[in-house]
């Protein structure tokens, strides 16, 4: 395998494997948040705010994989 195709393969793998963790984390986070909103609808505003903070932090992990994939394709 030459260097160029190895780079493309690595970019694909980094994006694919890097999305697994954040996807699971987002699923857990949102399901728990919905569960607690269903249990206590009166604090739904606060839960939603904190859920969005959590989404932002979790989602960033997948985006690091995206940035690394871009670096592998265009820069490295």
Partner 1 sequence: MNRKAKWGIFGLIALGALVLLAVLPGGAKQEFSVAEEFTLHPIIKLPSLAGVDLSVNKAVVYLWVTTAVLVALAIVVSRTIKKHPGRFQYSIEVLYELARDGIVGGVMKSGKATWFPYIGAVFFFVLASNLIGLLPLPLGEHWQPAYYAATANLYVTLTLALFTFVFTHYAGIRKNGLRYFVNWAPPSAPPVLKQLIWVIHAFGEIFRLVSLAVRLFANMLAGHAILGVFFAMALLFQNYLAALMLQGGSVLIYLFEIFVAFIQAFIFAILSAVYIGGALDQEH
Q: Which residues are near partner 1 by CB under 8 A? A: 45-46, 49, 52-53, 55-57, 59-60, 63-64, 66-67, 70, 74
Minimum distance from CB of 49 to partner 1 (Å)? 5
Which token pair is 10? 């690595």
Q: Which residues contact 58 (CB under 8 A, 6 or more apart)?
A: 22, 25, 26, 29
Give the nearest distance from C-beta 12 to partner 1 in angstroms.
14
- Residue 32 or 52: the one with the smaller Cβ distance to partner 1 is 52
Nearest approach, Cβ of 2 to partner 1 (angstroms)? 20
Give the other-Cβ count within 10 Å of 34's Cβ. Answer: 14
Vertex 19 angle, CA 16 and 21, to 5° = 130
């Amino acid at each position: 395998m030459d260097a160029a195709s190895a780079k493309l393969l690595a970019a694909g793998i980094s994006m694919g494997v890097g999305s697994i963790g954040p996807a699971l984390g987002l699923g857990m986070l949102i399901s728990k948040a919905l569960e607690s909103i269903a249990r206590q609808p009166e604090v739904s505003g606060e839960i939603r705010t904190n859920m969005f903070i959590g989404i932002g932090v979790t989602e960033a992990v997948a985006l690091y994989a995206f940035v690394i994939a871009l670096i592998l394709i265009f820069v490295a």
